[in-house]
Every structure is written in C-alpha cells, then in structure tokens.
A and B are shown apart, each in its own frame.
Chain A
Amino acid sequence: MIDKVRADAADAVSGIEDGSTVMISGFGRAGQPVELIDALIELGPRDLTIVNNNAGNGDVGLARLLANRQVRKIICSFPRQVDSWVFDGLYRAGEIELELVPQGNLAERIRAAGAGIGAFFTPTGFGTPLAEGKETRNIDGTDYVLEYPIRADYALIGGFLADRLGNVVYRKTSRNFGPIMAAAAATSIVQVDEVVEVGALDPEAVVTPGIYVDRVVAVGERPWLEHGVFVGADDAEGHRGTDAGTVAATEGGAA
C-alpha cells in the first residue's frame, strides 16, 4: 500500500540537511506552508538555498527562517515588500546572497526542471540588466535569453486537501508555485488542511498528481474555513476579530 502521509510536520521535513536547496511555495503569505517552515526551523539545517517568489513577510514563516540565519542564498523575483524587514536587514548587512529572477522566468525555470527540459529561450529580460552575461539568440525576428532550470532537493508546498497517494488540490490563488515546485524537487513535501480518503478527490479536479509528491501532512483547517465552509477573515493574515472585540469574545467563549 502506498502511504505518503506523515504523522506531523517534524516527521514530514525530516532529513533536510545543511546546504540543501529548498523550494517554498507561496506568493506573499498565500500558499506559504507555514507549519512546514516552522518544522524546518525546529530541525535546524543551515546554509540553505531557498527558492520562493518573495523573501518573507513579517516575522513568521520564511521571514523567521531567514531571521534564524539558516539561509545562505535566496532565489526570488520580489524580495522588497512593505513587510520584508527581516530580508532587508540581512541583505543590507551582506549576510544573504540574492539571485533576482523575473517572475515568469522563475516559474518557467522551475517548470523546466520538473519537465526534464535542459534549458529554454525566453524573451523576458532581453536587453535588461537581469540578462547580462547570458547567451542570447534571435529566432524568427525575436530576441531571446537562454535560461536554465532550477532544481531542488526539497519542496515545501502549501496545498488544501490531499489523499495518501499524494494527489493534491489547492485553494484559489494559494496554488501559485505549488504544482511546478512539486515536480521540480527530488523530495516534495505537501502540507494540507486535511488528508481525505483515496477516491474522495475528483480525478478531473486533481491539480498535482501524486507521482510528484513524496510526503503529505495534515496541519488542520485554515482559520478562515469552518468544516470546509468559508467564514472569512478580517485581514490578509487570516485573523478574525482584529478590530471587533465581540468576535474575539465569541470565539473565546466557544472554546
């Protein structure tokens, strides 16, 4: 019997070593596998190369991994954000290496790795500083830049539901880099709200087939859902009752 389900997040990230390249899904906070990242912090490997669209938000998740000095290099498209103070500080102090990649090239380089493509010519970035030193070619009148795949030892992915075979569905725009990272890493680890029975996921709706997934862990329902029904949040971090004491009181009472 195939069973990719791990007992908890610590079990799911076991074996990630110093010097590993780790892809982390998410666009800002959406789809960021916070429980897996917390487990990676707990596990403690250092000298990591991280692939993510951003470079952490606030003081949680990826930002906390950076603050814990476990990351040597980050490959991303958009490190500078209003709440990227952890990265900003490390970068200004020269304590983290940055490879800046246009977002579509980042996505396609990850996709190419999973699809077995050796390299590809893309028009994005031609004639800009981000293509300096790279091979170019004019094909049928258009200028292209040669870009190489980005592979990883591990991918940490924020899914929604999965089964023990590793089939995964996502939720809305939290899908973002998850499916392509799952294919691009030697070992792909997916956290989901819930692991469902085999057969419970509509085969027509499976987004990441289990062949790409090695480990699955259930971390519990996201706070803006209740028994699968959307109940909403008061901010983009998923808090409720942040500006309404009554909501907090009601939740406290129910607990």
Chain B
Amino acid sequence: MSLDRRALAARIAQDIPEGSYVNLGIGAPTLISDYLPEGAEIILHTENGMLGMGPQPKPGEIDPDLINAGKIPVTELPGAAYFHHADSFAMMRGGHLDFCVLGAFQVSQHGDLANWSTGEPGAIPAVGGAMDLAIGAKQVYVMTDLLTKKGESKLVAECGYPLTGVRCVTRVYTDRAVFDVTPEGFAVIETFDTTVDELSSLTGLTLVDRTSIPEEA
C-alpha cells in the first residue's frame, strides 16, 4: 500500500525529535503537526513571526491577529514568542531551524527544489517564504506524491520548472518511498509496498538502494 497524505504526515512526524525547531510549509506539510508525539516539546515556527505555534482555535475563539503562514487562525502555546519579519527570516537564513518540510513540483537528484512556479505564461507568480526556507533550515525535507496527476515523476535528473533553491533538499518523503539526496543521487531508504526496481522505472533514474541499511540515529 502506498501512503495517503495523513499516513505520510505521520511517517514524517516520527523523524522529528523532541527539542527540534521546525517550520512546516503551507498545505500538506501542515498535517504533520497532528502527528507529533503528544507532550513532546517540538517548537513550531511560523514565518509571520512566531515560535510556539499551537493548533487551530475552537469555534468562536478565532483571533485575527494570530495566524499562520497560510493565514489560517492558530493558537499560542505556553512559552510562545513573537518577533518581526526580519527576525523571523533571520532564523531561517541563519540556520537556526532544525527542520523544514516543504511541498514540491520537482526535486532534482542534486537536491535542487522547484516548488513556487510552473512557469506557465499568464500565471501570477508568488514565492512567499519558500526560497528562504529552502536554503535556511538545517534539514530541508520535501513531502510530496512521487508522481504528478499525469503520472510524471516529481523526482527528476534536472528540474524543468523554475528553481526555488539550489542543492538544498536533504530528504524526500513520498507516498511510495523515502529518498535521501546523496552525492550519488537519490538513495531509497524506505519503501511502501514497492521495490527499488519499480521506483527506478517510475522515476527513470538510477537509484541507490539503502533500504537494508539501518537509518543513522
């Protein structure tokens, strides 16, 4: 069985240890917060100026001054901190965040990321904080389906879409397998009901098989 969005979010949550400072990108990566271990002190950063972000508020308790990067109302946890935008992005760019998890249109075997524009003529471009996150966090994880709706691989030799960041992605979590970006290209470290051979055929890439080697602690 390949993993659905929620199962994949739960899988990624397992790899985020207590004590981490984490930025979860807009969209599917936000789901990861639902699966972080109960009671574990993992501090969520939101680009619009907050550490210690909590879940969405109860009905009627929305505070329009308290939103996340997706402009969705959130709450503050005890120990939260607010800061202005230049500080917030200094936290990213300065390498202070342990993890960020982003969506992707494409990831190249060198770790290049394309996730902000398909370059279609007439489309209104919008980049937000994606380029800062991509180059800033210590570990840049991507959460995505392996294939597009048309069946094309999102893991590619070279990105065809406009880049978000160069050689920045460290790991890609997909519905079919988990890949590390290595100097030898993509290394498969875990599969979900598939094989490295099948993944090679789906992606058209030469993949390194590391599925039998236990993950580094």
The answer to whether B83 and A232 touch across the interface, beta carbons within 8 angstroms, is no
Kindly provide the distance from the CB of A26 to the nearest chain B CB, expressed in whole angstroms: 10
Q: Which residues in B have their C-beta under 8 angstroms from that of A129? A: 117, 162-163
Kindly provide the distance from the CB of B64 to the nearest chain A CB, expressed in whole angstroms: 4
* Cβ-neighbour of B166 out of A53, A143, A171, A237 (below 8 A): A143
Kindly provide the distance from the CB of A126 to the nearest chain B CB, expressed in whole angstroms: 6
B29 at the interface (CB under 8 A from A): no
Kindly provide the distance from the CB of A228 to the nearest chain B CB, expressed in whole angstroms: 13
Q: Given A79-B126, A232-B61, are A176 and B166 also a contact pair (CB < 8 Å)? A: no
Q: Which residues in B have their C-beta under 8 angstroms from that of A177? A: 84-85
Interface positions of B from 96 to 151, Cβ below 8 Å from A: 112, 117, 122, 124-132, 135-136
The answer to whether B131 and A124 touch across the interface, beta carbons within 8 angstroms, is yes
Kindly provide the distance from the CB of A179 to the nearest chain B CB, expressed in whole angstroms: 4
Interface hub of A88, A127, A173 (most chain B Cβ within 10 A): A173
Interface hub of A236, A237, A244 (most chain B Cβ within 10 A): A236
B191 at the interface (CB under 8 A from A): no
A137 at the interface (CB under 8 A from B): no
Q: Which residues in B have their C-beta under 8 angstroms from that of A127? A: 112, 163, 165-166
The answer to whether B126 and A100 touch across the interface, beta carbons within 8 angstroms, is yes
The answer to whether A237 and B63 touch across the interface, beta carbons within 8 angstroms, is no
Kindly provide the distance from the CB of B90 to the nearest chain A CB, expressed in whole angstroms: 8
Stretch at the interface among B8-16, B65-73, B176-184, B209-217: B65-73
The answer to whether A234 and B59 touch across the interface, beta carbons within 8 angstroms, is yes
A39 at the interface (CB under 8 A from B): no
Q: Which residues in B have their C-beta under 8 angstroms from that of A178? A: 84
Kindly provide the distance from the CB of A163 to the nearest chain B CB, expressed in whole angstroms: 20
The answer to whether A107 and B86 touch across the interface, beta carbons within 8 angstroms, is yes
Interface positions of A from 99 to 130, Cβ below 8 Å from B: 100-108, 110-111, 122-130
A81 at the interface (CB under 8 A from B): yes
Interface hub of A103, A122, A178 (most chain B Cβ within 10 A): A103
The answer to whether B131 and A27 touch across the interface, beta carbons within 8 angstroms, is no
The answer to whether A104 and B61 touch across the interface, beta carbons within 8 angstroms, is no
A224 at the interface (CB under 8 A from B): yes
Interface hub of A28, A107, A232 (most chain B Cβ within 10 A): A107
Q: Given A173-B46, A173-B50, are A107 and B85 also a contact pair (CB < 8 Å)? A: yes
A180 at the interface (CB under 8 A from B): yes
Q: Which residues in B have their C-beta under 8 angstroms from that of A124? A: 93, 131-132, 135-136
* Cβ-neighbour of A173 out of B49, B122, B130 (below 8 A): B49
A residues near B (Cβ < 8 Å) are 27-31, 53, 77-81, 87-88, 91-92, 98, 100-108, 110-111, 122-130, 143, 170-180, 207, 222, 224, 230, 232-238, 240, 244
